[in-house]
Amino acid sequence: MAAVIAPEVGSQQGPSRPSKSSEVPLLPTHLVVLINGILSSAQDWKYAKEELSKRLGKNVYVYASMSNSWFNTLHGIDVAGRRLAEEIRGVVRSHPSLVRISFVAHSLGGLIARYAVSVLYTSLPPHHPVLIASKAAQSNGSPPKTAQTNGSSREIAQTNGSQPEVQFSSGSPPEIAESNGSLPNREKLSRPVELPTIAGLEPVAFVTLASPHLGVRGNKQLPFLLGLKPLETLAAPIAPLVVGRTGRQLFLTDGNSRRPPLLLKMSRDCREGPFVSSLRCFQLRVLYANAGYDHMVGWRTSCIRRERELPKLPSRPVDKRYRHVVSIENCPEVPLASASVLDAPSSAGPMGAGEINFRQWRGIGDTHDLLEEEMVAGLQQVAWRRVDVSFTGALFPFMAHHSIQVKHKVLHWEGAGVIAHLADTLRSLEEGHAAVFLEAKL
């Protein structure tokens, strides 16, 4: 619960109130970006956007991304991710009051968001001139210039539209403390420049709803194929004809004998991007996953679990306020085992000191089980909160893929409890942040 500062006692006539003309409008400091799924648009977030805006208050700017609508989602996860990153840079530039950022993504949007945050991620190396100047300024008792307003710290993440030239290693930057300790005004109390940023902002929450993080190639990962191996085998070559380059990436067929598929690369820090480090820098990462009735995305791929790790779920919700939310599990990070298909050098040649190398990579062939294991191991390097959703007993359970987002208020109303849980999760982070800010002022 956020601390409350009582107003000072005024004269006997009572405290004076500022006139309406002198009131300063409350500017948002926290950007929450909503990302739609495949062949969808920002309009799908209408209900969720209204609920989040209402529950989170004016301090939070809820923005539904518009850069990857409809057929733009078929151009590839990487293309859509870079497009989203550029859109977010524009939003940040036009709202200089923003200091914090969160992502909420549905379906394919979760993969697009993961790629985008790797593009927007900035972690300054110890020898970086900006960091050296900042530390020198702090030792002299003056605030670092990079932490001032006017967007100067954001320019670090936006120079020439790219990240600073930093080698990304299998090691990871220090994780942000769970105390939600950043402050909403850089002029008052600045966030240490050593901490990583996303688009120059403090990363808060990364949330996905029914997103195929492991792709859809494995058994029952694309549920409408009914788990039938002949259909799942035929789907891989047909997918690019239906959903373009994105289809190849989702079915892990975009690799070759010298280049692993994109989703496998996105489970590690590599030359293409700091995919794990950019996730780790968020205070909280949440996976909402449909345990059943989702015809588009399987349970395993949306919750990043192995088959043997799938739990037996209770039949009742965790709280009557969150109908159909049946399980919440906080899972710690799991260090990557040394025996990995991505560890030792391959015939593709060295990739640079500290970067991952791909061992004995000879194409994907029939190795999708191995690829899935590698992706799970890579993505479990960061801690996740897993929220399992079950529409068992719902009036329209087979609408689960869209109900979890409440795509349409009339058709998918049964997912309102999921959105309520999401809103309360984000609000708890806001309240914790506000409490730390008030304590610091006192």
**In the chain, % of residues over pLDDT 70:** 69
pLDDT of residue 363: 54
Q: What are the backbone angles phi and psi of residue 287, rounded to the nearest 5°? A: -115, 110
Contact by Cβ (8 Å): 201, 235: no
Six token digits for residue 61: 């700017």
**Cβ-based neighbours of 269, under 8 Å, separated by 6 or more:** 168, 169, 170, 172, 275, 276, 277, 355, 356
> Which of the four pLDDT bands, split at 50, 70 and 90, describes residue 357?
very low
Q: What is the pLDDT of residues 297-312, one digit of tens each?
A: 999 999 999 999 999 9
Q: What is the pLDDT of residues 22-75, one digit of tens each?
A: 455 789 999 999 999 999 999 999 999 999 999 999 999 999 999 999 999 999
355-357-363-368 Cα dihedral, nearest 10 degrees: -80
> Which of the four pLDDT bands, split at 50, 70 and 90, describes residue 339?
very low
Whether the pLDDT of residue 8 is over 80: the answer is: no
Q: Which of 119, 116, 45 is nearest to 84 (CA)?
A: 116
Q: Which of 297, 295, 315 is nearest to 398 (CA)?
A: 295
Whether the pLDDT of residue 294 is over 90: the answer is: yes
Instruction: Between 119 and 142, name the one with better pLDDT.
Output: 119
Q: Which amino acid is at 391?
A: F
Max distance between CA atoms of the chain, in angstroms, equals 83
- Alpha helix positions (H), 169-269: 229-250, 262-265
Query: 10 Å Cβ neighbour count for 310?
Result: 14
Whether the pLDDT of residue 126 is over 70: the answer is: no
- Alpha helix positions (H), 181-298: 229-250, 262-265, 275-280
> Which of the four pLDDT bands, split at 50, 70 and 90, describes residue 220?
confident
Q: Which amino acid is at 28?
A: P
Residue at 7 is within a domain: no
β-pairing, 202-209 vs 284-290, is parallel
Angle at which helix 229-250 crosses helix 77-94, to 10 degrees, equals 40
Residue at 156 is within a domain: yes
Ramachandran category for residue 228: left, alpha or beta (phi over 0 → left; psi -120 to 50 → alpha): beta
Burial grade of 60 (CB within 10 A; 0-12, 13-18, 19 or more) = buried
Six token digits for residue 413: 């109303």
Residue at 61 is within a domain: yes
Whether the pLDDT of residue 234 is over 60: the answer is: yes
Residue at 287 is within a domain: yes
pLDDT of residue 125: 54
Query: 10 Å Cβ neighbour count for 414?
Result: 20
Six token digits for residue 4: 């409350």
Whether the pLDDT of residue 17 is over 90: the answer is: no
> Which of the four pLDDT bands, split at 50, 70 and 90, describes residue 332?
very high
Of the listed ranges 21-35, 285-299, 323-337, the one predicted with least confidence:
21-35
Whether the pLDDT of residue 4 is over 60: the answer is: no
Q: What is the mean pLDDT of the chain?
A: 80
What is the domain count for the chain?
Answer: 1
> Which of the four pLDDT bands, split at 50, 70 and 90, describes residue 1?
very low
β-pairing, 384-389 vs 284-290, is parallel
CA distance 426 to 64: 16
Residue at 20 is within a domain: no
Element (H, E) at 197: strand 197-198
Residue at 6 is within a domain: no
Q: What is the pLDDT of residues 359-371, one digit of tens each?
A: 444 554 547 788 9
The residue-averaged pLDDT of 225-229 equals: 83
Residue at 15 is within a domain: no
Whether the pLDDT of residue 148 is over 80: the answer is: no
pLDDT of residue 24: 58
- The sign of the dihedral angle between the CA atoms of 317, 323, 326, 330 is negative
pLDDT of residue 256: 81
pLDDT of residue 296: 96
Report the Cα 87 to chain-centroid distance in Å: 16
Q: What is the pLDDT of residues 169-200, one digit of tens each?
A: 333 333 323 333 333 343 333 455 568 999 99
Whether the pLDDT of residue 258 is over 90: the answer is: no
pLDDT of residue 232: 87
Q: Which of 74, 84, 96 is nearest to 33 (CA)?
A: 84
Q: What are the backbone angles phi and psi of residue 288, rounded to the nearest 5°? A: -90, 125
Whether the pLDDT of residue 434 is over 90: the answer is: no
Contact by Cβ (8 Å): 301, 220: no
Whether the pLDDT of residue 116 is over 70: the answer is: yes
Residue at 164 is within a domain: yes
Q: Which domain holds residue 247?
A: 26-441
- Alpha helix positions (H), 40-158: 46-56, 77-94, 108-120, 129-139, 154-158
> Which of the four pLDDT bands, split at 50, 70 and 90, describes residue 266?
very high
The residue-averaged pLDDT of 413-430 equals: 97
CA distance 44 to 24: 33
CA distance 3 to 357: 49
